[in-house]
Amino acid sequence: MATIELQKVEKKFGDLHAVKPIDLTIHNGEFVVLLGPSGCGKTTTLRMISGLEAVTGGRILLNDRDVTWAHPSERDIAFVFQFFALYSHMTVRQNIAFPLQAQGESRETIRQRVAEVARLLEIEHVLDAKPGSLSGGDRQRVALARALVRRPAAFLMDEPLGALDAEFRETMRAEIKRLHIEQHATTVYVTHDQIEAMAMGDRIVVMSDAVVQQVGTPAQVYHDPANLFVARFIGSPGMNLLRGHYAGGAVHLRADVACQVPGDWVPALNGALGGEGDVILGFRPEAATVNSAGLPASVYATDLLGGYTMLHLEIGDHEIVHARAGRETHYPIGTPVRFALDPAMVRFFDPKTEKAIVREVTA
Ligand code: ATP
């Protein structure tokens, strides 16, 4: 069990600032996902926690112990990579036992622990096989077993499912989550896949350009993104973002189209924009309902996605918004429609700072 604390941890590779100072506490038993596009600094952050990469600033604490300069082997942290190197000449049993042998455990302890972890991961039937004869999913399970058998204080996982096809990814995603629920080991998990992050994380650390953009639960980053980057990056498609001018309690999207601001937002908008000013209105596709009243648009395209329909609605000059509708919805291209926004689900951003405007929420 472990608490991991990053205090102003940063990394420079020469002139490249790969990770700008991060402050983050990962609580005991928590599953934290580092999420962001390629090159944003996720792997470097993970490698600094593991000790494989030296920090260029800040401190790392493991259970309140300063491990900033401790060797990886002194950190009691297991690292699971995307491409697992299983020893091909050894059986699965020998592969799993290997870290315990290296630690000098007794034969009886090794036998018990291998049996226990094999049961947990349901790979008992392949214990005497060689890794080369296993399916991709089983190989992944063996690699996880090898990491688990040590009972480390924490797990670091770098895109462990990246090399798997879609079906296996889902199975293994569920498996890792189930394991986490059973074992409650502190886990830091890197991915660029926001669906994976939303499905697995207790909290998500959204990164871009070497900077942490937001730390929050999946619901927080989805419903209350801290800035435009998070609003666009989370969700598939991302949040609808419409530029407008706020004045007199409404956002004017065009000369003849305005959207009334819900009453509980008015004080925050007045405060943030000094009474009036340019603003960005944000809402998720499921916040928009095609209706007989509301904002005018025309149907640009429709995606029938099985359980629901994603409508692409054109409003004004080639501006497209996405709205979720029932699966029976059929609108020919070009149909004029109106859509209304759920007042509880609208958000506002300052176009200058790109940050969310925050309102006081009274319980
Ligand atoms: P990906 O998902 O592609 O792995 P990432 O978010 O994990 O991306 P990092 O691998 O942490 O990003 O890389 C962050 C930045 O640091 C990138 O610009 C990368 O090119 C650079 N970088 C990483 N390792 C080194 C290194 N050893 N030397 C120089 N630059 C590096």
44 within ligand 1 shell (Cβ under 6 A): yes
Ligand 1 midpoint to CA 154 (Å): 23
51 pLDDT higher than 80: yes
Ligand 1 midpoint to CA 40 (Å): 7
Q: Phi and psi for 130 in degrees, rounded to 5?
A: -95, 150
Ligand 1 midpoint to CA 210 (Å): 9
85 pLDDT higher than 80: no
Instruction: Please list, in sequence order, all residues whose beta carbon lies within 8 angstroms of the beta carbon of residue 346, skipping any fewer than 6 positions away.
Output: 261, 262, 265, 281, 282, 283, 287
CA distances from 314 to 166, 231, 327 (A): 32, 20, 20
Got the DSSP string for 46-79?
A: HHHHHTSS--SEEEEEETTEE-TT--GGGS-EEE
In this prediction, residue 362 carries a pLDDT of: 62
84 pLDDT higher than 80: no
42 within ligand 1 shell (Cβ under 6 A): yes
Domain ranges in the chain with CATH number 2.40.50.140: 237-349
Ligand 1 midpoint to CA 286 (Å): 35
In this prediction, residue 363 carries a pLDDT of: 56
Q: Which of 11, 40, 45, 156 to mutate to test the pocket of ligand 1 (most atoms within 8 A of CB)?
A: 40
In this prediction, residue 170 carries a pLDDT of: 82
Ligand 1 midpoint to CA 41 (Å): 6
Q: What is the pTM of this model?
A: 0.89
Give the residue with greater pLDDT, 75 vs 316: 75
13 within ligand 1 shell (Cβ under 6 A): yes
Task: Name the residue with the closest Cα to ligand 1, atom 2.
Answer: 38
Task: Give, for 188, the enclosing helix (H) or strand (E).
Answer: strand 186-191
pLDDT tens digits, 320-333: 999 998 887 788 99
Is the CB of residue 124 less than 8 Å from the CB of residue 111? no
Peptide bond into 285 cis (omega under 30): no
43 pLDDT higher than 60: yes
DSSP state of 212: E
Q: Which CATH superfamily is domain 4-232 in?
A: P-loop containing nucleotide triphosphate hydrolases (3.40.50.300)
201 within ligand 1 shell (Cβ under 6 A): no
Average pLDDT over residues 182-193: 90
Ligand 1 midpoint to CA 112 (Å): 40
The label of the residue with tokens 């149907």 reads: 299
Amino acid at 185: A
Confidence category of residue 165, pLDDT binned at 50, 70, 90 = confident
CATH 3.40.190.10 fits 237-349, yes or no: no
10 within ligand 1 shell (Cβ under 6 A): no
Give the residue with greater pLDDT, 219 vs 141: 219
Report H helices in the chain: 42-50, 92-102, 107-120, 136-148, 166-183, 194-200, 218-223, 228-233, 266-273
Average pLDDT over residues 34-58: 95
- CB atoms < 10 A from the CB of 9, how many? 23
Considering the chain, what is the average pLDDT of its residues? Answer: 91
Average pLDDT over residues 28-49: 96
DSSP β-ladder status, 250-254 and 240-247? antiparallel
CA distances from 228 to 189, 215, 232, 337 (A): 24, 14, 6, 27
User: Where does 220-308 show beta strands of DSSP type E?
Assistant: 240-247, 250-254, 257-260, 277-283, 288-291, 295-304
Ligand 1 midpoint to CA 15 (Å): 13
pLDDT tens digits, 276-310: 999 999 999 999 998 878 899 999 999 988 888 99
> Residue 63 and residue 84: Cα distance in Å, rounded?
28
Domain ranges in the chain with CATH number 3.40.50.300: 4-232
15 within ligand 1 shell (Cβ under 6 A): no
